[in-house]
């Protein structure tokens, strides 16, 4: 098999977000969970290797990303796409910068771009500053993220802090003029010794103008937005067939471990519809109590599942999250909750759930791993950045959607099940 585009995503929701944009623009896409051991059986144009590397130590994130790169190269990938979050989730030690530099080194390339712009979801970059909706990144709810609080909206500065290489900017003037101007700007930056450039984009039109300028660039690093302009470089255009999934069956549930503003709103909305919902308090998981808590949740869920979708969540407001983190430590709190929610997801599937909504990037990673899902087929979009996916198995498999924390409208959880039917 010779794939056109080989993608490495730093979390699982981000991987489906990217796959979604590629599918919608005409590519046949498979998403693998982790680096596959062998070639895929399916004929596809792009493979997205989903890693859970966003919050690892940089050395480990680099090592996993290079392993993914090696596999993608053996599949013939003509271009590599490193996908990260549209809110540029990272810390001063990484992992966006270190992984980008390691991939550049391995690909022996002397220039790449970096832009999380995703206008369909309100992520725009102007003069190198990232806006989330109408506010700068550091004024958005991302300032309170449990693992990667973002306190600076200037992406040139943020990226420079993570990189050895010199970071510059391809600003909106060049992007608006089109591919030739972008290429000229790239040549100018290279002559100044700059090897990584943040790119402005405030609309899909900007991203579509950027696309042709990226043709043949060995490595592209971005959120999912840039992907809308790439399939055309390979002569592909949108077709409805690329997003067809098998018929959905089985019971329905939502597992939510995201504490984002959007997810808090979605949890509140779902509860307000009168559907059953059970909260998991992280403090109750301490002292080896996770298994007992999971059993309680599953005993509660068992009979209720027959009546329609239910919700299990640890989603909480920033103050509550901070209090738990102060008690347990940030990493320990995250890991405890992820482990509990992943066990709940596995238990729910054992109870007959075959339509599962998971909210939260790290949470999705933990759940997909606990469910032993190796590969996902990408289906129809529920909201920008969030498609339904299907993981095949003998019993008909599981339809699953992995929602990045800040994505989706308030009624996302109910709408997701409606979209599937």
Please give the residue ranges that form the binding site for ligand ADP (CB under 6 A). 145-147, 257-260, 263, 282, 314, 316, 320-321, 324-325, 333-334, 337-338, 360-363, 404-405
User: Using CA atoms, how far apart are residues 380 and 248, in angstroms rounded to an integer?
Assistant: 12
Q: Which is nearer to ligand ADP, 334 or 397 (CB)?
A: 334
Q: What is the DSSP letter of 240?
A: G
Pairing of strands 129-132, 135-136: antiparallel
Q: Minimum distance between the CB of residue 219 and ligand ADP, rounded to whole angstroms?
A: 25
With respect to ligand ADP, which residue has the nearer C-beta, 147 or 245? 147
CB of 54 to ligand ADP, least distance (A): 8
* Residue with smallest beta-carbon separation from ligand ADP: 405
CB of 186 to ligand ADP, least distance (A): 32
| DSSP label at residue 110 | S
Provide, rounded to whole angstroms, the least separation between the CB of residue 333 and ligand ADP: 4
Which CB, 169 or 402, lies closer to ligand ADP?
A: 402
Closer by beta carbon to ligand ADP, 71 or else 270: 270
Burial of 20 (0-12, 13-18, 19+ CB in 10 A): buried
**Closest separation in Å from C-beta 411 to ligand ADP:** 18
Least Å distance, CB 344 to ligand ADP, is: 12
Cβ closer to ligand ADP: 119 or 282?
A: 282
Tell me phi and psi for residue 154, to 5 degrees: -85, 105
Burial of 401: CB neighbours in 10 Å, binned 0-12, 13-18, 19+: buried
Q: Are 382 and 415 in contact (CB under 8 A)?
A: yes
Least distance to ligand ADP from the beta carbon of 293, Å? 13
Residue 95's alpha-carbon distances to 10, 116, 178, in angstroms, are 9, 14, 30
Q: 32: Cβ–Cβ under 8 A, 6 or more apart, which residues?
A: 40, 47, 48, 49, 50, 374, 375, 376
CB nearer ligand ADP, residue 45 or residue 362? 362
Nearer to ligand ADP, 261 or 351 (CB): 261
What are the distances in angstroms from CA 388 to CA 44, 67, 335?
18, 27, 26
Instruction: Provide the token pair at 403.
Output: 């929602």
- Cβ atoms of 40 and 58 within 8 Å: the answer is no
Peptide linkage before 399 cis (omega within 30 of 0): no
* Residue 360 CB, nearest approach to ligand ADP (Å): 3
Which residue number, 206 or 338, has a Cβ lying nearer to ligand ADP? 338
């Amino acid at each position: 098999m010779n794939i056109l585009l080989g993608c490495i995503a730093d979390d699982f929701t981000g991987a489906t977000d990217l796959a979604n944009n590629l599918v919608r623009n005409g590519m046949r896409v498979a998403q693998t969970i982790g680096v596959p051991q062998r070639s895929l059986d399916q004929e596809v144009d792009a493979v997205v290797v989903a890693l859970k590397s966003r919050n690892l130590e940089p050395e480990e994130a680099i090592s996993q990303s290079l392993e993914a790169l090696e596999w993608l190269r053996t599949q013939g990938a003509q271009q590599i796409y490193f996908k990260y979050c549209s809110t540029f989730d990272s810390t001063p030690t990484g992992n966006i910068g270190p992984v980008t530099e390691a991939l550049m080194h391995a690909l022996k390339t002397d220039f790449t771009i970096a832009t999380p712009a995703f206008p369909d979801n309100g992520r725009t970059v102007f003069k190198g500053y990232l806006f989330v909706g109408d506010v700068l990144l550091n004024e958005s709810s991302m300032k309170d993220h449990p693992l990667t609080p973002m306190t600076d909206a200037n992406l040139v500065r943020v990226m420079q802090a993570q990189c050895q290489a010199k970071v510059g900017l391809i600003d909106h003037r060049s992007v608006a003029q089109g591919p030739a101007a972008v290429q000229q700007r790239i040549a100018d930056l290279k002559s100044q010794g700059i090897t990584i450039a943040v790119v402005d984009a405030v609309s899909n039109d900007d991203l579509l103008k950027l696309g042709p300028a990226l043709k043949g660039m060995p490595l592209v690093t971005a959120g999912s937005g840039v992907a809308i302009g790439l399939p055309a470089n390979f002569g592909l255009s949108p077709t409805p067939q690329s997003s067809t999934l098998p018929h959905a069956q089985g019971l329905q549930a939502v597992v939510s471990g995201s504490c984002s503003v959007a997810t808090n709103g979605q949890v509140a909305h779902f509860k307000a519809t009168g559907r059953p919902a059970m909260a998991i308090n992280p403090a109750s998981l301490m002292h080896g109590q996770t298994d007992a808590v999971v059993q309680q949740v599953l005993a509660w869920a068992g009979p209720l599942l027959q009546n329609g979708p239910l919700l299990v969540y640890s989603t909480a407001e920033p103050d509550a999250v901070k209090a738990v983190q102060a008690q347990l430590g940030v990493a320990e709190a995250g890991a405890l909750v992820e482990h509990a929610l992943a066990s709940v997801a596995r238990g729910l599937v054992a109870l007959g759930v075959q339509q599962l909504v998971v909210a939260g990037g790290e949470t999705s990673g933990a759940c997909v791993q606990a469910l032993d899902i190796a590969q996902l087929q990408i289906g129809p979009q529920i909201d920008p950045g969030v498609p339904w996916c299907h993981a095949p198995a003998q019993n008909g498999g599981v339809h699953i959607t992995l929602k990045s924390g800040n994505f989706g409208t308030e009624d996302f959880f109910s709408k997701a099940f409606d979209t599937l039917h």
